[in-house]
Amino acid sequence: MKLKFFITAFSCATLLLVSCKNGSQKDFVNDNFNFAAQQLQHAIDLTAEAIAKDSRDSAMRARRPLVSPRTLDEDGALKVVHAYDWTSGFFPGELWFMYEKTNDPAWRERAIQFTEPLQVLRHHTGTHDLGFMVYNSFGNGLRLTGNVGYKEIILDAARSLSSRYKPGAKIIRSWDHNQGKWQCPVIIDNMMNLELLFWAFKESGDSTFYQIAVNHANSTMQHHFRPDYSTYHVVDYDTITGKVLNRHTHQGYAHESTWSRGEAWALYGYTLMYRETKDPAYLNQAHHIAAFIFNHPNLPEDLIPYWDFNAPEIPNEPRDVSAAAITASALYELNLYEGERASQYKQWADTILENLTLNYRATPGTDGGFLLLHSTGAKSLKSEIDVPLVYADYYFLEALLRKTKIEAGQPLF
């Protein structure tokens, strides 16, 4: 499938405007990190206030203390979550990115402060999201500091994630809820947690981690995709036979629609699968997913997708900035592997970051300290519609760092 050239007059004008505004692409990245420094400090201050005002009963506060921001609630107040929330690792990850960019020990101390409370997750077997929760926090911390104390925490988390593996179906179970609806649901998001298992394999030498990750990716590639490489959000398996029982789209518009963030998770997930295995099947899968996204007639001109590619009221539907940020970060990595397509992938990623910067950034000193506005968690569930979301900010900063490294000729990993 041939990718069509998608750099429009609008995005070219955007590129010119950003370059003129900031003087250079390096200044463009620095401007975003300077903005992030201001916003993240604001978020830290508001988080401390929210924790001090936590109105839950004393037993709940003691058992599950609040640790990090997730979004804004309907009244515009900062929503702070406990460690067991699937988003808890993103904010400490952002602080580690700030330390990586600035080498400022103050950011290192802030990152440590928000990472340490997540130690309680190392033996938590009740979620598949330990990659998001532990690898994005402790993993980035280990990468940047070499703190050997973090290694055992991450290894324990990888063991906990592995406990959810179902050998009959060759998948890692995602959710434990809605047992009356699904026997063993697997969501496309789970591709993102495989990076934790690959790290554990390399660190421990235990090939079980590697095989679980590969089996899960292969089962997902076989069962989660339609012929056009769009994705289902949820696939329900019989854990004994591996038979597919249902294919659903829980957070998208409909079962046969394509949820934008799910497609972004898929692009990122199969790109990292190629990185870790060098299996060309995964690279080919990532290429086809990118083609689906950027050839879709409902992708807006600025490359920031609506929350679902098939949402019924396009163009009057909310965007999902988080899907755009995840996609941009994945494209920078995919650019390293794709040869003749590399420049197109980087061009798309640059355009996404430029448009996010110009039109989707928060107002300094407001918006709860978040960086980007206009993400959508799950409109179908009437949840987090057109709000800032911490994971959008995480992948925005990751994409900016990847852009910097690529343009400086530095390795990404």
Distance (Å, whole) CA 397 – CA 93: 10
Amino acid code (one letter) for 44: I
Q: How far is CA 38 from CA 45, 180, 402, in A?
A: 11, 46, 21
Structure tokens at 349: 């990623």
Distance (Å, whole) CA 34 – CA 38: 7
Locate tokens 């401007």: which residue?
Answer: 31
- Greatest Cα pair distance, the chain, in angstroms, is 60
Backbone phi and psi for residue 306, each to the nearest 5 degrees, phi listed first: -70, 165
> Active-site residue among 85, 189, 236, 308?
189
What's the distance, CA 146 to chain centroid?
Answer: 24
In contact, 319 and 301? CB cutoff 8 Å: no
Residues ≥6 apart with Cβ < 8 Å to 124: 84, 130, 157, 160
> Active-site residue among 31, 57, 73, 129?
129
Cβ-count burial of 206 within 10 angstroms (0-12 exposed, 13-18 middle, 19+ buried)?
middle
* Nearest residue to 114 (alpha-carbon basis) of 88, 151, 139, 132: 88
Q: What are the residues facing 378 on neighbouring strands?
A: 383
Active site includes 156? no
Active site includes 31? no
Catalytic sites, residue numbers: 129, 189
